[in-house]
Amino acid sequence: MTHAVDIRGVSKVYGPAGAHTFALDRISLNVDKGEFVCLVGASGCGKTTLLNLVAGLDRPGAGEIEVQGRPALLFQEAALFPWLTAEKNIDLALRLRKVSKKERATRVDELLHTVRLDGFGDRRPHELSGGMRQRVALARALAQETQVLLMDEPFGALDAITRDLLHDEIERVWTETGVTVLFVTHNVREAVRLGDRVLVLSSRPGRVVAEFPINIARPRRLESPEVAAAASEVTDRLREEVRRHADDEDEA
């Protein structure tokens, strides 16, 4: 398989027959191994639905999804277990993969170092900041030894400076581990800052309506003119998509 993620003609319907709405309608996309692909779309484009399907949390109504290995999923809120310390959260991912106890201890330390949280292992989630929690979640996802990392607006709830640093951080982890990333966001700048490709999804039903390869050299900066120029192109396409729904208002 050349693709890490291969989505072919996937549909997902919600609601009872007759009154149903398409969350996703025959959506097809693929992500190369080691590629960083960002999905952007307005509300109702089924971004989260799509990630749930790829993560295997839900089954598609039609179509096929092939994923290399079992993917890890990062949520908007870190979704750490509040009763476990940072260390134990990471450890649980290893435990559920039946890694031996001895190996786990070393691996947890390595992973904490990967996200630069050495020394914070014994903190509980409520004793960490939002950005730190998200990094623990990243370490926990990496503990799954996954080849595919799915991210559902992981930085959406963070303040600007933290988000900026975490962009560098996720980019570094991606470079070091060679993991494939499928990243969902509503923030176009963020998508252009991070992605090798940016895909624009339509809303109700969700489909890929445009694809923008981003050939800006890394490391990129959120503020650079190149990123801004590419972002405005993507935004224009997105706004066109939003205008298309101007008449829907009565239905909603």
Residue range at the interface with other proteins (CB under 8 A); choices 3-11, 99-107, 166-174, 236-244 = 166-174
By CB under 8 A, residue 165 contacts other proteins: yes
Applying CB under 8 A, among 160, 217, 246, 252 the residue interacting with other proteins is 217
Shortest spacing between CB 193 and other proteins, in angstroms: 11
**Contact between residue 45 and residue 201 where contact means Cβ atoms under 8 Å apart:** yes
By CB under 8 A, residue 212 contacts other proteins: no
CB neighbour list of residue 13: distance below 8 Å, 6 or more residues apart = 20, 21, 22, 23, 61
By CB under 8 A, residue 101 contacts other proteins: no
- Please state, in angstroms and rounded to a whole number, the distance separating the CA atoms of residues 85 and 83: 7
Applying CB under 8 A, among 6, 61, 63, 92 the residue interacting with other proteins is 92
By CB under 8 A, residue 114 contacts other proteins: no
Shortest spacing between CB 14 and other proteins, in angstroms: 16
By CB under 8 A, residue 219 contacts other proteins: yes
Shortest spacing between CB 2 and other proteins, in angstroms: 12
**Contact between residue 35 and residue 180 where contact means Cβ atoms under 8 Å apart:** yes
CB neighbour list of residue 9: distance below 8 Å, 6 or more residues apart = 26, 27, 28, 62, 63, 64
CB-nearer residue toward other proteins: 39 or 241: 39
Q: How far apart are the first and last CA of the chain?
A: 42
Question: Which positions lie near other proteins, rule CB under 8 A?
Answer: 32, 34-36, 55, 57, 70, 72-73, 75, 77, 79-84, 92-93, 95-97, 116-117, 120, 123-129, 131-132, 140, 144, 161-162, 165, 168-169, 171-172, 175, 196-197, 213-219
